[in-house]
A = this chain, B = another copy of it.
Amino acid sequence: MRERLLDNLLWFLVRPSVTGEERRLCDDLQERVAKTPGWEAERVSNNLTFRRAAPDPSREKILFAGHLDTVPEPEGGLPVRVEVARIYGRGASDMKAGDAVMLALLESFSWDESWAEPSFVFYEREEGPYAENGLEAVFVESPWVLDADLALILEPTAGALEVGCVGTAQIEVTFRGRPAHSARPWQGENALTAAGAFLAELHERQVEEVVVEGLTFYEVLVPTMARGGRAKNVVPDTLWINVNYRFAPGKDIEDVRRVFEELLAGHDAEYEVVDYAPSGPVKLDNPLLQRLIESGLEVRPKQAWTDVARFAERGVAAANFGAGLPSQAHQEAEFAELALLEVCYENLASFLRR
């Protein structure tokens, strides 16, 4: 299985799929799975669902979900390469390792010997705005996926079971100034330097710990992008900063707004919440989830937003259980550990066997 998992991961990695550019990977995946008999595919945009052509309605339904897209490559690229048992490439951990395990389950697991009725969703645009996420189209076009008794999302968890998830909001903060010739800056107001104190404050800000059902989540406020200025010799009259706020389960958009009202008090700046994805509740009482927990897996809080929250909103119990390393997600030289793909696959296989 090790060789097959390695092959699968490389198969995904050599098909770059930055958010918005998933078509080729999706085409190839559709073509590849078509060669495995017994599966029925549905496609909407660059989202693929697979279920068995002859399902057993008496079985409990389990759904495996994985996004196909990745964040952009770093400057200078991130070539796919294998170093002993480490596989480098954009998306290696987030989450082509999970996709590779899903593909192995789909193609190689003996589903006749399982208590579970499986289905799979490979979807696009998870790394982009909340509303553009490919699952939304899947929920509309293939609503049967919401009948699952448990959805497992193979986001990077290093083989642990990660429950709940922090919510995420993107907030655009705009500092305002007044333009002037840069030789006489006293005739204007510099929006860029005006943001200095705000950025310095966030630089010093501590991570906030929030405990939910015994699990510790971390709240963070991270400026991720900035754009300002119009010309090299003009005092800049605007600075746009995108801030990503991750908040613990139980908080909502009003809490997000309250934080920014406080943060920007006294600054000549406006803010707008341009993207908001709710946090995922921590619910451990699902029978299938209990069975998985009892198999001896470590249970941890999910310190990232995942589509667990989106499934929870639709009433589907969901948890993260994947093969990538969470610490490698979006890293400059992102890699995955082949051993973790094996562990993840074997744990799922033994959970699924009758």
Q: Decide if B71 touches A192 in the complex (CB within 8 Å).
A: no
Shortest beta-carbon distance from A270 to chain B in Å: 15
Contact count band on A: 35 or more
Is A47 on the interface with B (CB-CB < 8 A)?
no
Q: Decide if B237 touches A242 in the complex (CB within 8 Å).
A: no
CB-nearest residue of chain B relative to A128?
A: B232
Within 8 A of B (CB), among A149-171: 166, 168, 170
Contact residues in B for A74 (Cβ distance below 8 Å):
179, 230, 237
Q: Decide if A225 touches B236 in the complex (CB within 8 Å).
A: yes
Q: Is the interface of A mostly helix, strand, loop or mixed?
A: mixed
A229 contact from B184, B198, B203, B224, Cβ within 8 A: B224
- Contact string, A312-339, partner B, CB cutoff 8 A, digits 1/0? 0000000000000011011110000000
Whether A197 touches B194, Cβ cut-off 8 Å, given contacts A229-B226, A246-B183, is no
Is A45 on the interface with B (CB-CB < 8 A)?
no
4 smallest A-B Cβ distances: which pairs?
A196-B199, A196-B200, A225-B229, A193-B203
8 residue pairs A–B, Cβ–Cβ below 8 Å: A179-B330, A179-B332, A183-B303, A184-B218, A188-B331, A190-B223, A195-B196, A226-B229
